[in-house]
Structure 1
């Protein structure tokens, strides 16, 4: 007599075994949920009253948040499930049994750990159906980005505020609020933290900056670039001047067929390159865009101040001081209740004759041991303009871009050696 075999999926065996044991309230609740859903599996909502459909949709959204919190709560306590089968972690175990995307499961595992370990107000809001998983993820990310040395009481207030806004804002809006949450709950420390964050962003942007060009073989080249926001703002200012030309009387000029915006920007980029003065390129890559940066005078003199490119991005005071050495930036320095104390003039920037004199003095970057050609370097105010430094040769240093950034980096001090070289020393 032949034998018969019955194949049972592992997840079915696990569920059947669990159901044969005394049930934990969590498992009882899950079984009750699935049982209720089975009861309406064939129900057609087409003929529901409109108000009942609306109520059902809202209740389903609330239930999804509550069920997600329960799943995260179990997930945070399920390391033993992975250990039982030597799985790498519970996310890997779940991927094997449920075939969900592994990256989603690992994100859930991280969120579960954060809620279980730290952010209990967020998990409580999810249990109440007042915060969905996407909102919870954004809130946790915002709280994790707060300074590690922040007073715990302030961080608790930040969590409470963000959770409260979850009933009014979607995840994108919450993300924006999360970046400025200290402005809401602790404005007295928000400015210094914003300056710290911007400095970190600028350092990150410099590290990520890159540009590639690839010929497509049809007479065109694809240019792909990642640049700092402030650089993009300057480029956009130039491109808009070409892409949206206006007559002297302020009216638009329209010639030929209308072009889509991206094509107009592409042509504007070509025109921009054609208008560069090639005689200046070896000196400083052409004139920079004239941009207005507003900043308080006291902030410009400190390391924690924040400037604002008009119509563009915020920048640190250090970056504003650096740009003031090389770009046609008009610093609108404010005092009192936003009163303009001084609009800088382009004469504050080193002129072509001064640059030539600097090249005669030093053929390379003046930083000790640096051999970057002086024609690639930038003129730096030894005594910053914000501190009253003049724009003359005796107050000038020729520095490559890297060392110019270090000259405005508060992590370093620099001194001029007897031979004229500039030595940089990291602060301790």
Structure 2
């Protein structure tokens, strides 16, 4: 059927349509859309056959199509791939290139199936084993095209998978496993201290994570009634519970010389009253009421005395800073103290402002937190560190960066 036989609805006809008429208009427009996409594909195959580089002076057909229509590179590329798959073409030497799914092309040009249906059919035909005869290939494509006229693209995909299993029950030869599992995790921190994250897990790691999360994420009823949390909220709560369980394990590695923990900083009056806010070591704040709840099951470290009342100044008796000193440094510096660095305290190490090798003491006033990169830069890059009058470190850049060598400070960490 040609699109010239299908009448475009007028604007007035669309606006006054009742539900039945609106559905009929939608089907009519969908048929026109399907035909247009298919005819785009025919045009793309023609340009490809004539030689887009020689005749049209373009690097490829998708670039030409995007340039003349401005439909966007991605859409143009999809049209060209689809058009070449369902329309026969030829090389510059005249050698014919048969269509991968010719029956799907015919149905698409008649407006009977959508571009999404065509993509699923083509994907199945590409995966068809070379041992399948031409007759069986044509029969398989006819089954999928007939189904596509009345089913969704997903149903066509599932039917295509079943056909492939019929022709090749063993499936493709398995690939060698990668040298290491495919796992990724990335965090994006927000100004209010919250964070988003996304990642990727291999099959086994995903199965293990789901096995651990699913029991924790089950909806449960309370005295107030049924669980009103969404599935996503329950899964997030389950992940938090899983992290809490892990942090109580004695097998979890230490960090910065101490067991893994979350530092919450607030003054004693705020803790007593429950009014105000407390600061987290990764930025952001929580309410004093939440801090009081955490204090019911945590180790409270008095900042004046240090951990277990240990002395904060060790002079030359020790070179490595103690957990108590580190806690106090975290409270002051909040993270890497180098100007412009946003590394959190968990990713830093203690640095002697007057180098230990030069007689510097392991006293609080001679210490600051630096990430590994900036620790190396301070030692080898010409930067100097001095303690300011307010008890916070100033960083003096080398002369090639600032001839006046004006002191700089990190202003990224909340204080």
**TM-score with structure 2 length normalisation?**
0.47
Answer with 1 or 2: which has the greater Rg. 2
Structure with the larger helix share: 1
